[in-house]
Amino acid sequence: MKNIYEFNRRRFVQAGVLTAASLAVSSARTIALEPRAASGKPSPIKLGLASYTFRNFSRAQLIAYMKQLNVTELNAKDVKDHLPADPQGEAAALADYSANGIKLHAIGAVYFRKNEDEDVRAQFEYAKRAGIGVIVAGDPTPETLPRIEKFVREYDIRIAIHNHGPEDKVWPSPMDVLKAVKGMDSRIGCCIDVGHCVRAGTDVVEAVRAAGPRLFNMHMKDLTNFTDKDSQVAVGDGKLPFREIFEALIAIRYPGFVDLEYEVHADDPMPGVIASFAYMRGVLAGMGYLSRG
């Protein structure tokens, strides 16, 4: 698999596609990232941002960064003041996002701490108040899934279980999620974290194909070493096969969002975030598409 990925990456560079990612980043905190004005058809891939990327920054700072990035689609988390779980705080956050043209498409990761109706309902109410149709679930136990399924049917809100790599003894790979939810309501499925996926020894392209209609969210990152969690780098600087990932998403007609979750350099993430969006937009331009994010 490694040789195939490296060959595809060399071929990609030789084709000149990376020219779309060659934005000047000398003033990384202030540069405005305009979507590539390339010829082509509208992209079926929708790029978004996981707010956890800016977990050390306030909502106001997050909004300002999103404007610089020209990204309007957000997967929001109850971290800092990004999307508080209490109704009053949540309403204030939603008003701020709306006023700044930012749309929320998912929340998470959300953690289901108790296998109790009251606790599970609280998470669905949190999503309902925000008008969000996807909950990215961080750690539901298999025993909790039947209870969660009951609320999925009541609220018509999808659950995307997030894989967390080999350290996660329950959901290391999207394949583990798919096995557990087989036969359950079709609105229970996966959020594939591509970095954790490959660290679990799973081919991420095959995981996308296997998930098919049960794929509800994507978390994008890159690694230089598929066995080392700490080898995360900006998207395009590592070894993940992003063109092949995008091709697989297009092949399954994936309707959801591809959210950058850049987890390193938490106190100064913008250089890596800028480079990551530039690279993904460059990949899409090289595939003949106009970026939608």
Query: Helix crossing, 270-286 with 59-69: angle to 10°?
Result: 30
124 alpha-carbon distance from chain centroid: 20
Q: Which two tokens stand for residue 208?
A: 């996308």
Measured N-to-C along each axis, helices 204-211 and 242-251 cross at an angle, to the nearest 10 degrees, of: 10
Residue 199 pLDDT more than 70? yes
Is the Cβ–Cβ distance between 221 and 235 less than 8 Å? Answer: yes
Is residue 39 very low, low, confident or very high in pLDDT (cuts 50, 70, 90)?
Answer: low
Report the pLDDT value the prediction gives residue 113, as an integer from 0 to 100. 87
Provide the whole-model pTM: 0.86
pLDDT tens digits for range 166-188: 999 999 999 999 999 999 999 99
* Alpha carbon distance 84, 68 (integer Å): 24
Domains of the chain from N-terminus onward: 2-20+45-290 (3.20.20.150)
Strands 158-162 and 188-193, by their bridges, are parallel
The answer to whether 148 and 120 are in contact (CB under 8 A) is yes
pLDDT at 10 over 60: no
Residue 79: φ, ψ to 5°: -135, 145
What pLDDT is attached to residue 161?
Answer: 98
Work out whether strand 257-260 and strand 232-233 pair parallel, antiparallel, or are unpaired.
Answer: unpaired
- Read off φ and ψ for residue 104, nearest 5 degrees: -95, 130
